[in-house]
């Protein structure tokens, strides 16, 4: 048993001899914003993929609300309350905006093949419930007017919002955001910051993977720094800014 | 949305026309062709769901159709069960077989799955021919009784017409409900993005297997009705030619819409009849070759001019018309 909200212990992952993650240990505080930063190839996205079960870790444990979820398949982890967004959105392109967000409700609903096929009243009720939930989450990100648009008609900023609304529709306890502000303009980033603080008030814990340093420094309660698959620093934003190893990783070593 | 509710006014008109048809014409030729349209339509709709919505490149649909026909046929020729039970039995047998085969091979992707299911098609076709004492061999299974439920025997073309169209439209209704539900969205999602689908909590192997078995069972029921209608089955009817025909229907009709393959079935089968009727006089000896040449030309033309098939083309036409109309109204204000 483990009492922390979310904790990883000794997490390792190799991809054919390349050590993507090497003995990672850290914890996330409940209802706080924790950021995971590091240069390209540091293993940040790999970390998210391990936590959400896209592939299993080679070694190590991932405790989420007292339970070891390492090695479980992705759909089970999703139903335990871990939602995520993607660096490249990964939206369902053949569906409308609303249908994308409705997909987020999948793990919370139950109707099976025959109930849906014969349109049994319980399935119809559930379908209405899903639709309302999805509309609610679209309103939260301010896209309710575009619910019937195809994804291809949206600009990048709005696609990121659809991704977030879709993850929120899962009613996650922990939300993993993979580069949520990558490629966004300043005013869009500001809107997202407001949204994230609102989510915090709703009791959702956030783990943000990001490159944009001003954004990370302004929003995070704690920061974890990865480089080359290992953790090289951790702490409050001010501490991390002063950390010698972190500065080296980002700016390079001093040459004498 | 791609899958609009099916029962628009237009579809009610089409259903009314289908019901009225046997009362307008008494030509058993027209009804016979329409029975074939319904049965092939059922197959093509199921196959298009797998190919276009679920992204499962399965070519084994003629096999489920054939196994369905043979199980129902053999059971009723040997009078083991009554024909109506034969239909239920063949659905059950195909459900079991497609479950057992689907569970391992649906892990394959793309071309690999296509190869595996194509091999299945060839193996089953050959086995049906070789198991002479059971299946009647390559000459076919003769003496299948007509379908009967209790003391009522389904004999006339009109009765088979209503039976096959009930099956076809029933399957269409069922699949349309599924595609617009939680399960259907899950099935459509893994073609777009498998990672996202899994992260949303979709158990992909489970849904792949469900839709695979479901469409196989629909094909099996169509097969059993088909065997009672033509009272004869032959291994060659369930092989490569049928596969090509189904793919033609999907391409011509358009697989992205649900009713597209049915439209494709209607066009393909009637076109072939017309070719036989009119060109049979000019090329009396080479019917199959004439078919192949004409369908080849038609498929190429469709791929060039309406790549989404007739149904896709129609949707786009109406969509642009309604947009133009809205523009016109705005301009009026």
Q: CB distance B182–A109 less than 8 Å?
A: yes
B154 to chain A, closest Cα gap in Å:
27
Dump pLDDT digits (tens) for A148-201.
999 999 998 899 999 999 999 999 999 999 999 888 888 889 999 999 999 999
Report whether A70 contacts A61 (CB < 8 A).
yes
Q: Tell me the pLDDT band of A244, cut-offs 50, 70 and 90.
A: confident
Residue B143: Cβ-neighbour burial (10 angstroms; 0-12, 13-18, 19+): exposed
SS in 3 state form for chain A? CCCCCEEEEEEEEEECCEEEEEEEEEEECCCCEEEEECCCCCCHHHHHHHHCCCCCCCEEEEEECCEECCCCCHHHHHHCCEEECCCCCCCCCCCEHHHHHHHCCHHHCCCCHHHHHCCCHHHHHHHHHHHHHHHHHHHHHCCHHHCCCEHHHCCHHHHHHHHHHHHHCCCCCEEEEECCCCCCCHHHHHHHHHHHHHHHHCCCEEEEECCCHHHHHHHCCEEEEEECCEEEEEECHHHHHHCHHHHHHHHCCCCC
| DSSP at B153 | E
Q: Which residues contact B326 (CB under 8 A, 6 or more apart)?
A: none
pLDDT above 90 for A243:
no
Say if residues B71 and B124 touch (Cβ distance below 8 Å). no
Q: Given this model, what pLDDT does residue A1 score?
A: 55
Q: What is the mean pLDDT of chain B?
A: 88
Q: Residue A148 and residue B1: Cβ atoms within 8 Å?
A: yes
Q: Is the confidence at residue B70, as pLDDT, over 80?
A: yes
- Rg, C-alpha atoms of chain A: 19
pLDDT of residue B330: 66
Does residue B4 belong to the interface with chain A, where contact is any CB pair within 8 Å?
A: no
Residue B183 in contact with partner chain A when CB distance is under 8 A? yes
How many CB atoms lie under 10 A from the CB of residue A210?
A: 21
Q: By the CB < 8 Å criterion, does A170 face chain B? A: yes
- Which residue out of B6, B187, B201 would a mutagenesis test of the A interface target, given it has the greatest number of A Cβ atoms within 10 Å? B201
- C-alpha distances (whole Å) from B316 to each of B254, B303, B312 are 12, 15, 6
What is d(CA B55, CA A182) in angstroms, rounded to the nearest whole number? 31
Buried b vs exposed e over A33-43: b needs ≥16 C-beta within 10 Å? bbbbbbeeebb
The sign of the torsion formed by the CA atoms of B279, B280, B286, B287 equals positive
Could you report the per-residue pLDDT of A120-150, keeping only the tens digit for each?
A: 999 999 999 999 999 999 999 999 999 999 9
Nearest CA in chain B to A129: B182
Strands A59-64 and A67-68 turn out to be antiparallel
List, for residues B98-122, the tens digit of each pLDDT value: 999 999 999 998 899 999 999 999 9
pLDDT tier at B2 (50, 70, 90 boundaries)? very low
Which of A53, A93, A116 shows the shortest C-beta gap to B184? A116
pLDDT at res. A254:
65
d(CA B223, CA B97): 15
Average pLDDT (B12-25) is 90
Mutate to test the interface with A, among B179, B200, B208, B308 (most CBs of A within 10 A): B200
- pLDDT exceeds 90 at position A83: yes
Helix or strand (DSSP H, E) at B149: strand B148-149
Rounded (5°) CA angle B242-B61-B138:
55
Q: What is the pLDDT of residue A255?
A: 65
Rounded to 5 degrees, φ, ψ at A33 are -100, 120
Task: Name the minimum distance, in Å, from the CA of A234 to any CA of chain B.
Answer: 28
Integer angstrom CA distances of residue A237 from A35, A231, B275: 10, 15, 77
Band of the pLDDT at B3, cuts 50, 70, 90?
very low
The pLDDT score that the predictor gives to residue B331 is 67
Q: What size, in residues, is chain A?
A: 256
Helices (H), B25-144: 28-48, 61-77, 83-105, 110-130, 132-135
Which chain A residues touch B197 with a CB distance below 8 Å? 92, 103
List, for residues B27-51, the tens digit of each pLDDT value: 889 999 999 999 999 999 999 999 9
Q: What's the Cα-to-Cα distance from A125 to each of A109, A119, A148, B230, rounded to whole Å? A: 11, 10, 21, 44
Q: What pLDDT does residue B333 have?
A: 53
Instruction: Write out residues 40-59 of A within 8 Å (CB-CB) of B.
Output: 52-54
Q: Are B163 and B225 in contact (CB under 8 A)?
A: yes
Nearest CA in chain A to B1: A96
∠ Cα B95 B97 B103 (to 5°) = 95
Q: Take residue A41 and report the two structure tokens written for it.
A: 């190839």
What mean pLDDT, rounded, does chain A reach? 90
User: By the 8 A CB rule, do A70 and A57 touch?
Assistant: yes
Question: Could you tell me what percent of chain B has a pLDDT over 70?
Answer: 93
Residues of chain B positioned with their CB less than 8 A from the CB of A147 = none
Whole-number pLDDT of residue B285: 67
pLDDT tens digits, B152-205: 888 888 999 999 999 999 999 999 999 999 999 999 998 899 999 999 999 999
Task: Provide mean pLDDT across the span A4-12.
Answer: 91
A105, closest residue in chain B (CA to CA)? B200
Tokens, residue B98: 């497609």
Nearest Cα neighbor of B205 from A73, A123, A101 is: A73
pLDDT tens, residue by residue, B286-298: 666 777 787 888 8
What integer pLDDT is reported at residue B161 of this predicted model? 94
Could you tell me if A141 and A161 are in contact, meaning their C-beta atoms sit under 8 angstroms apart?
yes
Structure tokens at B297: 């030309």
Residue B26 is predicted with a pLDDT of 80
Q: Is A130 on the interface with B (CB under 8 A)?
A: yes
Q: CB A106 to CB B2 under 8 A?
A: no
pTM score = 0.91
Whether A113 contacts chain B with CB within 8 A:
yes
Nearest-CA neighbor of B256 among A154, A97, A94, A99?
Answer: A94
pLDDT score recorded for residue A160? 92
Residue B196 CA to residue A101 CA, distance in Å, equals: 12
Dihedral of CA B211/B216/B217/B218: which sign?
positive
For residues A136 and A130, give the distance between their C-alpha atoms in angstroms, rounded to a whole number: 10
Burial of A189 (0-12, 13-18, 19+ CB in 10 A): middle
Q: What would the two tokens of residue B192 be?
A: 């777009």
Residues 151 to 180 of B: which have CB under 8 A from any A CB? 174-175, 177-178
pLDDT band, residue A4 (cuts 50/70/90): confident
Exposure string (b/e) for A62-80, b if CB count within 10 Å is 16 or more? Answer: bbbbeeebbebebbebbbb
Chain B within 8 Å of A120 (Cβ-Cβ)? Answer: no
Flag whether pLDDT at B4 surpasses 70: no
């Amino acid at each position: 048993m483990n009492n922390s909200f979310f904790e990883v212990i000794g997490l390792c992952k190799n991809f054919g001899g390349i050590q993507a993650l090497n003995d990672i240990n850290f914890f996330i505080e409940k209802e706080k914003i924790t950021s995971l930063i590091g240069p390209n190839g540091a293993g940040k996205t790999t970390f998210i993929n391990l936590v959400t079960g896209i592939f299993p870790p080679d070694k190590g444990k991932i405790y989420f609300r007292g339970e070891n979820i390492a090695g479980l398949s992705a759909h089970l982890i999703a139903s335990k309350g871990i939602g995520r967004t993607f660096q490249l959105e990964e939206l369902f392109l053949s569906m409308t905006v609303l249908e994308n967000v409705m997909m987020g409700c999948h793990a919370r609903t139950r109707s099976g093949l025959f109930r849906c096929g014969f349109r049994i009243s319980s399935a119809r009720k559930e379908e209405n419930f899903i639709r309302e939930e999805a509309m609610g989450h679209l309103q939260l990100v301010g896209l309710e007017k575009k619910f019937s648009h195809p994804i291809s008609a949206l600009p990048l900023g709005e696609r990121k919002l659809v991704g977030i609304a879709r993850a929120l529709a899962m009613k996650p306890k922990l939300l993993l955001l993979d580069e949520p502000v990558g490629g966004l303009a300043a005013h869009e980033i500001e809107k997202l910051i407001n949204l994230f603080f609102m989510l915090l008030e709703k009791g959702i814990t956030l783990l943000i993977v990001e490159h944009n340093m001003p954004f990370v420094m302004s929003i995070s309660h704690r920061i974890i720094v990865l480089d080359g698959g290992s953790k090289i620093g951790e702490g409050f934003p001010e501490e991390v800014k002063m950390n010698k190893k972190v500065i080296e990783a980002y700016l390079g070593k001093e040459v004498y | 949305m791609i899958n609009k509710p099916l029962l628009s006014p237009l579809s009610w008109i089409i259903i009314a026309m289908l019901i009225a048809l046997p009362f307008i014409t008494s030509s058993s030729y027209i009804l016979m062709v329409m029975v074939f349209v319904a049965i092939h339509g059922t197959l093509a709709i199921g196959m298009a769901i797998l190919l276009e919505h679920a992204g499962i490149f399965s070519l084994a649909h003629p096999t489920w159709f054939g196994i369905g026909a043979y199980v129902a046929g053999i059971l009723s020729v040997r009078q083991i069960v009554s024909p109506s039970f034969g239909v239920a039995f063949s659905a059950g047998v195909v459900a079991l077989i497609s479950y057992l085969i689907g569970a391992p091979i649906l892990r394959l992707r793309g071309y690999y799955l296509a190869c595996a299911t194509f091999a299945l098609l060839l193996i089953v076709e050959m086995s049906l021919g070789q198991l002479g004492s059971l299946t009647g061999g390559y000459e076919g299974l003769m003496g299948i009784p007509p379908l009967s439920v209790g003391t009522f025997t389904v004999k006339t073309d009109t009765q088979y017409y209503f039976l096959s169209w009930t099956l076809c439209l029933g399957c269409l209704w069922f699949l349309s409900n599924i595609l617009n539900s939680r399960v259907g969205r899950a099935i459509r999602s893994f073609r777009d993005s498998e990672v996202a689908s899994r992260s949303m909590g979709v158990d992909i192997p489970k849904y792949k297997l469900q839709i695979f078995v479901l469409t196989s069972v629909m094909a099996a029921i169509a097969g059993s009705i088909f065997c009672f209608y033509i009272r004869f089955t032959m291994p060659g009817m369930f092989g490569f030619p049928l596969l090509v025909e189904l793919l033609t229907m999907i391409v011509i009709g358009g697989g992205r819409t649900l009713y597209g393959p049915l439209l494709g079935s209607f066009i393909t089968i009637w076109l072939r009849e017309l070719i036989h009727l009119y060109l049979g006089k000019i090329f009396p000896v080479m019917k199959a070759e004439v078919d192949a040449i004409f369908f080849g030309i038609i498929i190429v033309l469709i791929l060039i001019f309406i790549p989404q098939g007739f149904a896709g083309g129609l949707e786009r036409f109406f969509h642009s018309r309604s947009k133009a109309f809205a523009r016109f109204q705005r301009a009026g204000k």
